[in-house]
């Protein structure tokens, strides 16, 4: 009987620990950094690789908004606290663009090469979000016109390179999605104000180079 009670206490302790981790991160993003966030749809409990949304072929299970929709993203402390008090394990979804960072994402292996190339050039980088299959480099907000000019200047833009701009979204750590845990590959400095992020230009150049290098075959994930 003592063993059973001990197991229950440990399980309850883990659940309690999980709640402040999620809500604490969501509140930091929203109230300290002024990044608008909202809870993502949870993975399907019947199979974590599937999504809890109605789309049976969802490609980003548990990593996108559904109810509420993306337009509900906010920096309001009371709303954020209410969401994650009622849904303590919900993924944290950032509404990119506007006053929040945008992102350039690419498959994990190519992303690690792009980061290495940027490091060799001595370029300063901000936070980098990593999932099991894709990494996202946070960049300063950009317009569609600015992005279009950057891409037009490239000889070739791989389809595995993706952009999270105005009207887009990105799951943030420590979210658990259908594809696995979201973490920081390059974490923001602890206790800092809203993290500094680079402009998109140099990041796009390094990402395209990493994906088009001879012998590189990046999956369309």
Reported as a single tens digit per residue, the pLDDT across 164-180 is: 999 999 999 999 888 88
Q: Quote the crossing angle between the two packed helices 108-120 and 200-212, to the nearest 10°.
A: 120
pTM: 0.84
| Residue-wise pLDDT tens digits, 111-126 | 998 899 889 889 889 9
Burial bucket for residue 157 (CB in 10 Å: 0-12, 13-18, 19+): middle
Q: Is the pLDDT of residue 220 over 50?
A: no
Burial class for 60, CB neighbours closer than 10 Å (0-12, 13-18, 19+): buried
Return d(Cα 145, Cα 176) in angstroms, integer: 34
Whether residue 51 contacts residue 61, with contact meaning beta carbons closer than 8 Å, is answered with: yes
Cα–Cα dist 174/154, whole Å: 34
The answer to which of 28-32, 48-52, 125-129, 200-204 has the lowest mean pLDDT is: 48-52
């Amino acid at each position: 009987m003592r063993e059973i009670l001990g197991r229950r206490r440990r399980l309850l302790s883990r659940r309690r620990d999980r709640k402040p981790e999620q809500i604490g991160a969501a509140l930091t993003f929203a109230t300290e950094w002024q990044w608008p966030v909202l809870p993502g749809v949870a993975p399907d409990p019947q199979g974590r690789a599937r999504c809890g949304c109605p789309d049976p072929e969802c490609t980003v299970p548990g990593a996108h908004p559904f109810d509420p929709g993306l337009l509900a993203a906010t920096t309001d402390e009371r709303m954020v606290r209410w969401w994650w008090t009622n849904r303590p394990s919900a993924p944290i979804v950032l509404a990119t663009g506007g006053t929040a960072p945008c992102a350039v994402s690419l498959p994990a292996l190519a992303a690690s090469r792009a980061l290495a190339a940027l490091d060799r050039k001595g370029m300063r980088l901000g936070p980098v979000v990593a999932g099991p299959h894709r990494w996202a480099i946070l960049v300063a907000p950009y317009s569609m016109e600015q992005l279009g000019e950057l891409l037009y200047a490239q000889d070739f833009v791989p389809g595995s390179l993706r952009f999270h701009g105005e009207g887009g979204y990105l799951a943030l750590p420590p979210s658990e999605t259908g594809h696995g845990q979201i973490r920081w590959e390059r974490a923001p400095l602890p206790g800092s104000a809203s993290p500094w992020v680079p402009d998109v230009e140099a990041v796009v150049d390094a990402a395209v180079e990493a994906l088009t290098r001879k012998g590189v075959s990046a999956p369309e994930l």
